[in-house]
Amino acid sequence: MEVESNLKKVLMNGHFAVTAECGPPKGADPDVIQKKGNILKGYVDSVNVTDNQTGVVRLCSLAACAILKREGLDPVLQMVTRDRNRIALQSDVLGASALGIRNILCLSGDHQSFGNQREAKGVFDIDSIQLIQTVRSMRDEGKVIGGDVLIQPPDLFIGTTENPFADPFQYRVLRLEKKIMAGAEFIQTQCIYNIARFKEWMKQVQDRGIDKKVYILGGITPMKSASMAQYMNTKVAGMDIPDHMIMRMKSVAAKNQREEGIKIAIETIEVLKEIKGIQGIHIMAIEWEEIVPRLVEEAGLYPRPAV
Amino acid sequence: MITAERKPITEIEAMLNPFRRILVVGCGTCVAECAAGGEKEVALLSSALRMDARLKGRKIEVGEVTIDRQCVYEFINELTGFVDHYDAILSLGCGAGVQAVAGLFPKMPVLPGLNTKFIGETKETGLWIENCRACGDCKLGYFAGVCPLTRCAKGLLNGPCGGSKNGVCETNPDTPCAWQMIIDRLEGRGQIDLLQTIFPPVDWSKYEGKGPRKIEREDQRSGS
Ligand code: SF4
Ligand code: SF4
């Protein structure tokens, strides 16, 4: 039976897509992933599995994707270039396709100095844009780096991320364009809190006609508390939470801050729905996957389309 | 230049513990420039070793000598004969210097007094920064004279990662983001479009090759 990417079908049919993130456990228990998958099932079109995020050793993304696939979900394999050289990356791309995984997200990855293996050697043999190009050429031309021909090319819908809040701001859109040139078909953005800056970025995206060439999913992370907001803003690389947002979280009693975080997330989703060129959202509820169904329902995005 | 830092004195003393007559050998080139292994540092370290030994009631003899280059045999040769008096050599050369000295005196224990760090530039007095990894295929012409392989913590060749903020690298607020520098420079020249070409994967065979690399120049050989 031909396996197809659900995410690709949803997007190609013009639906507003919903994806969510699932972090694998720091352990070998498959039930954790199964449980997370079952919470998300039916509420999202695809599930991203992070690849040793922030350089912390976790159950591998490929295995977790295979487990989610078995549970009937459409996984997005996140793949960072930090830990594997081009031989291992290309081999995993083939393995993923063989397991019926149909989406890949190509990333450089957080630097190893952030995680629990700070003495590790960062590989970075190729960068994320080169990885996009590599997967694209494996799929469309049936060739690995160097030109050797594959007997059976992998079948993967190719995505990557972009951070509209990083610097140099004036270059972010050019870099996005480069990712599309390399072959990216969908983009998931960094968590959006600074809506003004996001709109400014989207305007540049539209001006250059980039939104016509790629599907863009806006990143959403519901904040659990004011202190989490503060922590993320100062300690997590690439995060931009404006002061007024942090103040808003602080202005409510601690016991109500979760609700406030959810409210902000839903408001942001509503804003994103109205922005031309945004074709979906990507929810990164870090170790809070159980909130995703509620977010999706309250944002009016349930039920998910059957495609 | 090749930069280096002196090892902690306790580590040096532990290495030297089995020996009584020690020759400290400095190098007058790179490691002198970065104030780690030149004549001055040889003198300082030698007196520290003597002083500590005295305090601990140990009898040692420390000789001092600095040669112009520890990585070139014709200079190391100056030590021939002279070294016979000693039980061990403590080299304040870079890793290449230590190995060259050890190669010329294979019977003599040659110990490293420095930790060799990187190929770098003297940014300010007392500040050295790494800016070349000797990849064997210099790409600086494409990147406005800033090496992304070395100065970007992830060695990215196709633009900044998502962690670049306010001009500094996500990994270290004390380090400028290489990509911010590249983009600023190219923008200043009106050449930002140069970055829109996808830079292909690096040919690391020029870096790793089939193990250690060498340069062989027939023209140089025949000339000697
Ligand atoms: S491109 Fe290679 S040779 Fe040139 S500065 Fe960078 S590491 Fe050194
Ligand atoms: S912040 Fe800049 S220098 Fe640091 S890893 Fe990212 S692109 Fe490289």
Q: Is A166 contained in some domain?
A: yes
CATH 3.40.50.2300 positions along chain B are 2-118
pLDDT of residue A235: 87
pLDDT of residue A238: 87
CATH number of the domain at A36, please: 3.20.20.220
| Ligand 2, pocket residues at CB < 6 Å | B 152-154, 156, 160-161, 163-164, 169-171, 177-179
End-to-end CA distance of chain A: 16
Residue percentage of chain A with pLDDT more than 70: 100
Only one residue has tokens 């050989």, namely: B221
Q: How far is A217 from chain B (nearest CA, A)?
A: 16
* Interface residue of A89, A128, A171 to substitute, partner B, most B CBs within 10 Å: A171
Q: Is A84 contained in some domain?
A: yes
Q: Is A306 contained in some domain?
A: no
Q: Model confidence over A286-298: pLDDT tens digits?
A: 889 999 999 999 9
Pick among 3.40.1190.10, 3.40.50.2300, 3.90.180.10, 3.40.50.920: CATH of B2-118? 3.40.50.2300
How far apart are alpha carbons A234 and B94 in whole angstroms?
A: 39
What spacing in Å lies between the alpha carbon of A96 and ligand 1's midpoint?
A: 35
pLDDT of residue A80: 98
State whether residue A7 is helix, strand or coil. helix
Q: Is the pLDDT of residue A258 over 70?
A: yes
Dihedral Cα B90, B96, B101, B102, nearest 10 deg: 80
Q: Is the CB of B147 under 6 A from ligand 1?
A: yes
For the question of whether the overall pTM of this predicted structure is more than 0.90, the answer is yes
Structurally, how many domains does chain A consist of? Answer: 1
Q: Model confidence over A119-172: pLDDT tens digits?
A: 999 999 999 999 999 999 999 999 999 999 999 999 999 999 999 999 999 899
pLDDT of residue B223: 56
- Chain B contact for A177, CB < 8 A? yes
Ligand nearest to the CA of B181: 2
pLDDT of residue B2: 98
Ranges of residues in chain B with a pLDDT under 70 are 223-224
Which residue puts its alpha carbon closest to atom 8 of ligand 1?
A: B132
Q: Is A245 contained in some domain?
A: yes
Contacts of A294 (CB under 8 A, 6+ apart): A262
Q: Model confidence over A192-229: pLDDT tens digits?
A: 999 999 999 999 999 999 999 999 999 999 999 999 99
Q: Is A240 contained in some domain?
A: yes
ipTM: 0.94
Q: Model confidence over A177-191: pLDDT tens digits?
A: 999 999 999 999 999
* Interface residue of A108, A137, A234 to substitute, partner B, most B CBs within 10 Å: A108
State whether residue B185 is helix, strand or coil. helix
Q: Which residues of B touch A182 (CB under 8 A)?
A: 158, 198
Choose among A76, A80, A78: nearest CA to A109.
Answer: A80
> Which ranges constitute the DSSP H helices of B152-202?
178-188
Q: Model confidence over A25-34: pLDDT tens digits?
A: 999 999 999 9
Q: Is A164 contained in some domain?
A: yes
Domain span including residue A284: 6-298
- Contact between B139 and B203 under an 8 Å Cβ cutoff? The reply is no
Residue A103's beta-bridge partner residues? A76, A157
pLDDT of residue A1: 56
Q: Is the CB of B150 under 6 A from ligand 1?
A: yes
